[in-house]
Structure 1
Amino acid sequence: MAPNNVDRLSILPEEVLSHVLSLMPTKYAVRTSILSKRWRYSWTSVTNLDFDDHHPFHDLHCLKTFIDRILSLCKTTQLNSFRLSFGEMWPPKSSVSKWINEAVRLNVSELYVKANLIDLPSLFTCMTLMKLSFVYNEGGYCNFTSSIDLPFLKTLIITIFGPSSFNASKIIHGCPVLESLFLDIDCGGNDEDYNFNIPTLKHLEIRTRKGLGVNQVVMNLPDLESFYFQGSLSSNYMTSRFVTVDMSSLVSATFLCNYSRSTELWVEVLKGIAGAKSLSMSIPYMVPPNVPLPNFSNLKHLELKSSVRHCIVPPQQNVDWLLFPQILENSPELEHLCIEGDSDDSGWIEPQCVPICMLKSLRTIKFESGQLWKSNIKILAYLLRNAEVLKTATIVSRIFPLEEEMRFCTELLKLPRASRYCETHFHGSLSHSASI
């Protein structure tokens, strides 16, 4: 209140009040209608609508009545975002469809739908939608049989919980300007293909909990800049194929494969992303040490994660170190190397030849492990002894007591270094750090 007892909040312009109310959940924005006559209908001009089945909705009828009432009174002509999130209640498919139809009528730009029963025919011809995100719960029903035409959709986020025959290609083909695609799904049927033929796509993220159990994945993505994959490449299917048509613009890639029944499939994916400048990867269990790896001719930054952390089957030996020399040999321009995770160097075999990157380009190394002192000293010694242009080596230990950390620092002093300008930084688990 101002000194003259003027309500400064209430005299704000209507568009400012509408913006403020749009930043809060809809059920709270509606409550402002009881403040005064001035506030009674201020909320009807909000540009964001947010509905969920949490308090204060005690039953499904109460929830449906509230949403129907709000949508009937809403006066906005351009809805920025519309969110429906139902985790506990199961609104009927007809009600969900009706609410989405209202959002389409209000020219919605961003839509988020989480429901057990989904049928979206009107949505798939929406001319204003730019971002679509939906979560399909296990045991529900999802219908995507209608034709799809989303001419301005740039971001598509799909999460599927539980078994489903859903195929993202059904939606992708109707999105001619798609730029970002995020898929979090269980495995589909073996009789389907994923054909990612999207000339405009810049970001692709795929997460799978049981594997991509499909016949073939085709990647024709000439403008793709970032690629992320985490999960299993296949579950029970041995015939899956990964075909790269064009990924020539790829800058960064993350490939965290925790399991693959086919070494050839794993290598195919690796070949498709080999042109990236930045790569984060893990090597799954069952990949043999003599598998031929692609050349990473553009690679500047490499992050290797331990296979133990991402493996669903306990490995008999750590194949990370068996393939490590080949990875370095195939990365002639590598400048930054980060090794993360707990592993055992018992499978380490020191190569006879020093990789080119260690002689000419490798400048920084980061080694993070909870078992660094006991298990990984051989690899660290090899890197320091052969990296001739190395400038910094950072070692992070997460679980050791102080006396063990000091003993490790002492051991580091004894390791020979090829680079006379290399600084070694040690960060311990007790916020202890040292430069050597």
Structure 2
Amino acid sequence: MPQTSRADKSSKSCHEDRLSALPDDVLHQVLGFLQADEAVRTCLLAKRWRYLWKSMRRLRINGSGGEWWGSTDVFLTKFVSCLLLLRDPGSTLDEVEIEYANHFGDDHTWISTWIRHALSCQTQVLTVKFPLPVHVDRYLDGPPLVSRYLRRLEISQVRLKSNFLNFSSCSTLEDLKIKDCDLYASSILSQSVKHLSIKDCFFKDDVRISISVPNLVSLQLRSYGGRTPFLESMSSLETAVVSVEVWSVNYCRKGFFAGECCGTCLDCCGNGHGCVLLGGLSRAKNLQLIAHPEMFIFRRDLRWCPTFSKLKTLLLNEWCVQPDLRALVCMLEHSPVLENLTLQLCKQEKPACAVEVEENPGLVEKPAAISGYLKIIRVKCEDVDGRVCKVLNFLSTFGIEITIQRTKG
């Protein structure tokens, strides 16, 4: 019987293509970790790989670092268009990521076409990024998106126009993230979205955009510019974080320097809205309301303050204690089941802010309608200055232990 040496066995093992012997589903998973141009080039590896790229279920059209960025923008457009058109027509897509730098042109119409083609392939997760300098005009426009399969959508660094934010025809969309975008639409609509995140975006400053997402469970509205959007009712809301930064156009022209709402000017009463934010947030169980002291939008809303009938955990920053404690008192009186209160206070710049508290003794008395469930009070501050002392004096009337935590600026 012929003997096979160990070296012969090793040589045979080295030439054996074990990777190609794997099932198609496994190989498609492997291709999904590659950028699209790299995945297509695997067709040269062996006969087994020749057409695998046509049916892979995850596409990463991501050019940062890919070889095509040294070529022309026209080449990239043709490559992606062919990639989508030459796919196996019977193959669906689970996930598509499009990162389009577009350094060489201003035509973004192809992006909208690619997005709609991806949705026609039953894509469940879609990510669209435009990593461009801020001076480059980039936008997505056209009719509303339509999909019965899309579950998660992330869009960043682009201007969204017209009906692009109407997701009424995306019946299974639950997770929507929008970042670093200019929102030039009249509304954001969805009956299915449960988790909405809008960060570092700019809203139109001539009218209020309406956010109508009635089945929302969690909301993050952070560091936006332009005019604050109008939040419609969200009966299933559990957690919300709203942060209003200084570059928002929402300020009272008469009371700007005091950070107050005059209650009479167009900014305070205009646009046909009562509560802009707080009405839509009134069913939340956990709520964080953060604003620069000069931004008065929360204090404006308190003129029509709703009852937060489910609110258990509340975090506020210094907007609620400037120039006095009226805003804090109002929030507490309208939170009948509140259990956990956190105040996050920055270092006081103008010691005169709390003078009005001394002139109104009633503001440092325990509110008559304070929640009987309130058990935890935390005060986070950089320094225990005069303003913090007055806040602590007010909170001490509740007869509840207060935890003070020092923070860095």
Fold shared by both chains (TM-score > 0.5)? yes
Structure 2: distance between partners of 1:176 and 1:37: 41
Q: Which amino acid aligns with 1:226?
A: S
Q: Give the one of 187, 194, 214 matched to 2:187.
A: 194
1:339-398 deviations in whole A, cap 9, x for unaligned? 224142753437343136867322223333333467634424543x334354x7251422
Determine what percentage of the aligned residue pairs are the same residue.
24
Match of 1:130 in 2: none
Q: Which amino acid aligns with 2:216?
A: L
The answer on 1:270 being equivalent to 2:265 is no
Greater length-normalized contact order (CA 8 Å, ≥ 6 residues apart): 2
Aligned length: 358
Distance 1:43 1:160, change over 3 A: closer
Match of 1:363 in 2: 375
The answer on 1:257 being equivalent to 2:244 is yes
Structure 1: distance between partners of 2:299 and 2:49: 70
Match of 1:50 in 2: 60
- Are the equivalent residues in 2 in contact too, given 1:90–1:115 (CA < 8 A)? no
Q: Give the one of 120, 125, 150 matched to 2:147.
A: 150
Match of 2:289 in 1: 281
Structure 2: distance between partners of 1:71 and 1:178: 23
Structure 1: distance between partners of 2:391 and 2:374: 15
The answer on 1:386 being equivalent to 2:397 is yes
The answer on 1:85 being equivalent to 2:72 is no
1:36-70 deviations in whole A, cap 9, x for unaligned? 55555544442111123333121125434543564
The answer on 1:334 being equivalent to 2:338 is yes
- Are the equivalent residues in 2 in contact too, given 1:203–1:227 (CA < 8 A)? yes
- 1:197-276 matches, within 5 Å, as 198-207=190-199, 209-213=201-205, 215=207, 217-218=209-210, 221-231=213-223, 235=227, 242=230, 244=232, 246-258=233-245, 259=248, 260-261=250-251, 262-264=267-269, 267-276=275-284
- Are the equivalent residues in 1 in contact too, given 2:124–2:151 (CA < 8 A)? no
1:234-280 deviations in whole A, cap 9, x for unaligned? 55xxxx99474x43222222222234133446843213312321111
Match of 1:402 in 2: none
- Are the equivalent residues in 1 in contact too, given 2:144–2:164 (CA < 8 A)? no
The answer on 1:14 being equivalent to 2:24 is yes
- 1:352-431 matches, within 5 Å, as 352-355=364-367, 360-372=372-384, 376-380=388-392, 382-383=394-395, 385-390=396-401, 393=403, 395-398=405-408
- 1:302-313 matches, within 5 Å, as 302-307=314-319
Distance 1:8 1:356, change over 3 A: farther
> Structure 1 regions of 5+ residues with no counterpart?
117-135, 309-316, 400-436
Match of 2:126 in 1: 111
- Are the equivalent residues in 2 in contact too, given 1:250–1:273 (CA < 8 A)? yes
Q: Which amino acid aligns with 2:287?
A: L
Equivalent position SS for 2:315: strand
- CA drift of 1:15 comes to 1.9
- CA drift of 1:335 comes to 1.0
> Structure 2 regions of 5+ residues with no counterpart?
1-8, 252-266
- CA drift of 1:77 comes to 0.8
Distance 1:44 1:241, change over 3 A: closer
Equivalent position SS for 1:340: strand
TM-score w.r.t. the length of structure 1 is 0.65
- CA drift of 1:327 comes to 2.0
Equivalent position SS for 1:139: coil
Match of 1:408 in 2: none
Equivalent position SS for 1:360: coil
Q: Which amino acid aligns with 2:24?
A: E
Distance 1:99 1:224, change over 3 A: closer
- Are the equivalent residues in 1 in contact too, given 2:147–2:170 (CA < 8 A)? yes
Match of 1:425 in 2: none
Match of 1:26 in 2: 36
Structure 1: distance between partners of 2:125 and 2:306: 40
Structure 1: distance between partners of 2:81 and 2:291: 52
